[in-house]
Structure 1
Amino acid sequence: MGITIKDIARYVGVSYSTVAKALNGSPLVKDDTREKIVQAARRLGYKPNFAARSLVTKKTGMIGVVWPTVERTALTALLNEIHRELQKRGLTMLLSILVGQEAIQLFERLQVDGILLFENELEPSVPLAPPAGIPLLSIGKPDNMAVPYVDLGRKQAIRLAVSRLAEQAVTDIAYVGFQGASTQQADKYLGFVEEMLERKLPLNQDWIVRTESSNWEQGYTAAKRLLAGPRRPQAVITGGFDLTGGILRALQESGVRVPGDMALIGYDNIPHMERLEVPVSAVGAPVARIAAETVGLLQRLLSPEDAAEDGGFPGRPASVALEPEFAGRRSTRDEAV
C-alpha cells in the first residue's frame, strides 16, 4: 500500500486536514509549514492520485503553462523559478509548447486549475480567448486579452539603465533590441528613447539597432555593425540576455575592453548575467521575485473571493506591477575592478 496523506500528517506532526490543504495549494497554510509538508511528501515517496483528489476537491492541483519558446535563456530561468514556487504550494506544472489557443484548449480539456501565459512576441496580433471557468494569468501585459497580468516594468527598466549611465557622465549610448510587434518588446525601445530625450542625450540613429529576434547571433551581428560605424558609442544597452552574450563576444573578439572602452548593461535580471566572461550589469525585476509574485497572484486568483479583492472583475483585471532593479557588475564603470 502506498504512502497516504495520513502518513505524512503523522510524520510532520500536523493534522490530516493541514496536510490536505498544503498539498492542494491552500493559502491558509503558512509557508514554512507547507514547505515541511511538501518536503516530507517527497521524502516518503508520496504519489498523489490526481483523479481521486479531483473528485473530492474539484481541483486537480495542476497548473498549465503556455511556453512560447525553448530557446530563450531568460524565459527558461523564469520557468525554473516558477516551477519551484508551484512546488512549495503543492502544485504541479504542466508545460505546453503548442501555440497560443491550442495550448489553452488543451489545458481546458485536462481541467487544470489555472493557466500561466507568456507573451507571444512573434505573433502578438493573434487574438486569444480566455478559457471558460479557468483563471488565466499573463506574465507581461497581453496585447489582446483583458486578463490579470504581471507587469514586468520593462520600460522603466531600460530607463533605469540609461539613468545609471548618465550618472556616470556617459552620453553616447546605443540600444540593441528586438522590436517585434508586441507592446512588451516595444516598451523597451520607448523607455530608451524617453529617458535619452528627458536627459537631453544625443539620439544617434546609427546606434539604435533593431534586431530580428532576441537570440545570441543577432546580438553578435548588431555589435559588429556598431563597431563598423564611423564613431563608436561609449555604452550599449541590450534588450535581453541572449543578445547581451552575443554583443559581449563580438566586443571581445574586436579587442574592445568592457567597460574600459565600452560599458554594457543588459535587460533580464537573471543570475546568468554574472556568469558571462565579463559579469554584466543588469536591469529588471529579479527573476526569483517575478516567479514569487506570479505564483502568489495566481494562487489568489484560484479562489474567487481573493480575486475580487485584487480587482479581478470585468473591465479591471487584477495585476501586479514590479519595480525594476539595477544589478551593478564589472561591465559598467562604477563597478569595474
Structure 2
Amino acid sequence: MKITIKDIAKQIGVSHSTVSKALNDSPLVKPETKDRIIKLARELGYEPNYAAQRLASKQSNVIGLIWPTLERVAPSILVTKINEEVSKHNYKMILSIDSIEESIEMYKRFQVDGVIVFNKDNIGMPNSSPLPIVSYGVSENKSIPVIDVNYREAMHAAVEYLYHLGHENIAFVGDFSFNDERQVEKCYGFQQAMEKFGLKIGNHNLINTRGLDWYDGYMSTIQLLKSSFKPTAIIGSSYDISAGIIRALRQADYIIPKDMSVISYDNIPQLESLEIPLTSVGVPVEEIAKHMVKTLLDYIKNPNSVPLSQTLSPKISERTSCALARTIKS
C-alpha cells in the first residue's frame, strides 16, 4: 500500500499542508514538528509523487547534462562539481553520454527543466532546442548561451608567468590537429603570447600530441627530449597530457623544477596530487560549475535575462613545478 501525505498527517495530527511544507524543509514549520514528520515519513517508507509535483509546480526540479565522453580527468571533475552545485539549488541532475540529439529527445520525455550540454570537440552544437540549454568552451559563432573560459587568455597568462621567471625557450605540448576548437584556441593563445614577448616560435616548440590522453603527452615529451630543441619550460594543454609530460621527464631523470619548469592547463585541485604538484592555469573548476548552473537556472526562469556569451577570467594556481630559468640539462 502506497503511503500518502494524508496518512502521515493523520498519524501526526496535523494538516496535509503542514506535512507538505515539512517534507520540503519549509521554515514555516516548527523544527520539532518537522523532525517528527520526517522521521515518520522515513519509517513508513513514504515516496514523493514527482509526477503530481510537476503538475502542480510545472517544474521537475531536474536538469539534464549531456557529455559524450568522461574518459579524461578534468571533464569528470567538472561533472562532479556541476552536480554538487545543482544540489545546492535543490535540483537533481541526470547524466547522458548519448549523442546530443538522442539525449535531448530523452530529456524531453523526462520533462527536465533545462540542459547543460557539452560536445567532445565543441563543434556542431545545436542552433535551437525545445529545452533551455547552456554550454561552455568557446563562445564564438554559438546561438545558445555559452560560458567562455577564455583559453587564449589562459595560455597568455602561462607564457607571461614563465617569461617573468626568465624562461625564453618554452615548449607547448598539446593537441592542435584542428579537430577541437578548444585545443586550437589554446595553441593560438600560446603563439600570440610568445610573439608578444618576443620569444621564438616554430615547429621546434609546438609539439602536437594528436590526442588528449596521458600516453599522448608522454610520447610527445619523449620525442621533444630527443630533439635538438632544449626548452627550459613546458606548458601542457590539459591535466592528462601534463601527467604524461611529468612521467616522461622523471623517466629521463629531469628534476622538476630544477631542470625543467612545467605548467599545466586545467585549474583543478587534482594537479596538487601528481608526482610533482603542478602549477596550473585556467578558470577554477568550481567557478565554471557555479556559473554554468546559475546561468541555466536563470535561463529557465527568464530566457531574456541570459546573454549568449559570458567570459570568465583564467587564474594561475602556483604550486612547486616552476622556478627561475637556469642552465638547461644537457
TM-score strictly above 0.5 = yes
* AA of the residue aligned to 2:273: R
2:62 matched to which residue of 1?
62
1:279 matched to which residue of 2?
277
1:110 matched to which residue of 2?
110
**RMSD of aligned Cα (Å):** 2.5
Of 27, 41, 45, the residue aligned with 1:14 is 27
CA distance 1:204–1:259, shift in 2 (3 Å): farther
1:108 touches 1:131 (CA, 8 Å); kept in 2? Answer: no
> In structure 2, how many angstroms separate the alpha carbons of the residues matched to 1:48 and 1:245?
46
> In structure 1, how many angstroms separate the alpha carbons of the residues matched to 2:213 and 2:18?
49
> In structure 1, how many angstroms separate the alpha carbons of the residues matched to 2:71 and 2:38?
33
2:182 is the alignment partner of 1:211:
no
- Cα shift readout 1:147-196 (whole Å, capped 9, x = no counterpart): 00101111111110000000011000000112242322211001100000
* AA of the residue aligned to 2:237: G
Q: Secondary structure at the match of 1:266?
A: strand
Q: TM-score, normalised by structure 1?
A: 0.82
1:332 matched to which residue of 2?
322
1:129 touches 1:145 (CA, 8 Å); kept in 2? Answer: yes
- Cα shift readout 1:81-114 (whole Å, capped 9, x = no counterpart): 1000101111111110002222222222222110
- How far residue 141 of structure 1 moved from its aligned partner, in angstroms, is 3.0
> In structure 1, how many angstroms separate the alpha carbons of the residues matched to 2:81 and 2:279?
21
Of 229, 240, 243, the residue aligned with 1:242 is 240
> In structure 2, how many angstroms separate the alpha carbons of the residues matched to 1:102 and 1:303?
25
CA distance 1:206–1:48, shift in 2 (3 Å): farther
How many residues are treated as equivalent by the alignment? 301
- How far residue 264 of structure 1 moved from its aligned partner, in angstroms, is 0.4
**1:136-175 alignment runs, 5 A limit:** 136-141=133-138, 145-175=142-172
> In structure 2, how many angstroms separate the alpha carbons of the residues matched to 1:127 and 1:152?
17
* AA of the residue aligned to 1:102: E
- Cα shift readout 1:214-250 (whole Å, capped 9, x = no counterpart): 1101010111011011232111101100001011011
1:8 touches 1:41 (CA, 8 Å); kept in 2? Answer: no
- How far residue 41 of structure 1 moved from its aligned partner, in angstroms, is 7.9
Q: Secondary structure at the match of 2:204?
A: helix
**How much identity, in percent, do the aligned residues show?**
31
1:308 matched to which residue of 2?
304
> In structure 1, how many angstroms separate the alpha carbons of the residues matched to 2:4 and 2:252?
62
The farther-off stretch of 143-152 and 187-196 is: 143-152
> In structure 2, how many angstroms separate the alpha carbons of the residues matched to 1:111 and 1:227?
54
The farther-off stretch of 274-283 and 49-58 is: 49-58
Q: TM-score, normalised by structure 2?
A: 0.84
- Cα shift readout 1:120-163 (whole Å, capped 9, x = no counterpart): 21x72x4534322x110012236764000101111111110000
- How far residue 209 of structure 1 moved from its aligned partner, in angstroms, is 1.1
2:191 matched to which residue of 1?
193
* AA of the residue aligned to 2:164: E
> In structure 1, how many angstroms separate the alpha carbons of the residues matched to 2:140 and 2:105?
19
Mark the runs of 5 or more structure 2 residues left unpaired by the alignment: 9-16, 325-330
> In structure 1, how many angstroms separate the alpha carbons of the residues matched to 2:259 and 2:20?
59
The farther-off stretch of 112-121 and 262-271 is: 112-121
Q: Secondary structure at the match of 1:184?
A: helix
1:27 matched to which residue of 2?
none
Q: Secondary structure at the match of 1:205?
A: coil
- How far residue 6 of structure 1 moved from its aligned partner, in angstroms, is 4.0
> In structure 2, how many angstroms separate the alpha carbons of the residues matched to 1:10 and 1:61?
18
2:310 is the alignment partner of 1:320:
yes
CA distance 1:143–1:117, shift in 2 (3 Å): farther
- Cα shift readout 1:41-82 (whole Å, capped 9, x = no counterpart): 89x768543211111111111111111211010001011010
> In structure 1, how many angstroms separate the alpha carbons of the residues matched to 2:19 and 2:250?
58
2:99 matched to which residue of 1?
99
* AA of the residue aligned to 1:331: S
> In structure 2, how many angstroms separate the alpha carbons of the residues matched to 1:130 and 1:214?
29
> In structure 2, how many angstroms separate the alpha carbons of the residues matched to 1:13 and 1:64?
26
1:128 touches 1:144 (CA, 8 Å); kept in 2? Answer: no
The farther-off stretch of 179-188 and 50-59 is: 179-188
Mark the runs of 5 or more structure 1 residues left unpaired by the alignment: 17-36, 312-316
